[in-house]
Amino acid sequence: MSPAGTSGENDDDDQDLFRRALSDAAPLKKRRPQPAKPAEAKKPAPVKKKTAKKKPAASPLLATPQPVARPKPPSDLAAGEFSGMDRRTADRFRRGKLPIEARLDLHGMYQDAAQGAVVGFITESAARGHRCVLVITGRGSREGTGVLRERLPQWLNQPPCRAHVLAFTPARPQHGRDGAFYVLLRRKRGDRS
């Protein structure tokens, strides 16, 4: 048999099936158009007092869907801001008393490479369950001109880092002072360590 022959047989079967399915169908009644009435002078309708009309109760199937409440994205953090944590943890974090579980040194990196390194470091540290990490930016070639030090807060406030970061603050002298930051990461759910 040729492919054309099988196609023709299928068409006949489809048409036969269609005819059987519609065999008991009845045509819809046709409406006759109403003749147009001549325009009559209409009396003005009496003025009705406006009353508050109650809206009919919507059926459950036709009710308009309510918008789903989406969690607000976390607001931007500033260095040294400790909202969302208890006072004791905030004090230990600020004084550099929490154990540093991982370090990232950005010395010698350009901005793009440093940003990628920070994003990878923060997401990996969070996945490993680390709580406090140290990011070393350096102070810059001249005092007060550290580009990486200036950009780190922006990077920590951008996705995907912001979802993991609870707080950050400049490090203590023994960990790099102005050229480094402690970063406190959120605990994973179920992690009590």
Stretches in the chain below the pLDDT threshold 50: 1-2, 4, 69-73, 193
Give residues with Cβ within 8 angstroms of 137, minimum separation 6: 106, 114, 146, 148, 149, 152, 179, 180, 181
Quote the pLDDT of residue 72.
45
Percent of the chain with pLDDT over 70: 64
Q: Is residue 135 part of a domain?
A: yes
Indicate the number of domains in the chain.
Answer: 1
Does 65 map to a domain? no
Nearest to residue 140, comparing CAs of 129, 150, 128?
150
**Domain housing 98:** 87-184
The model scores a pTM over 0.75: no
Is residue 46 in a domain?
A: no
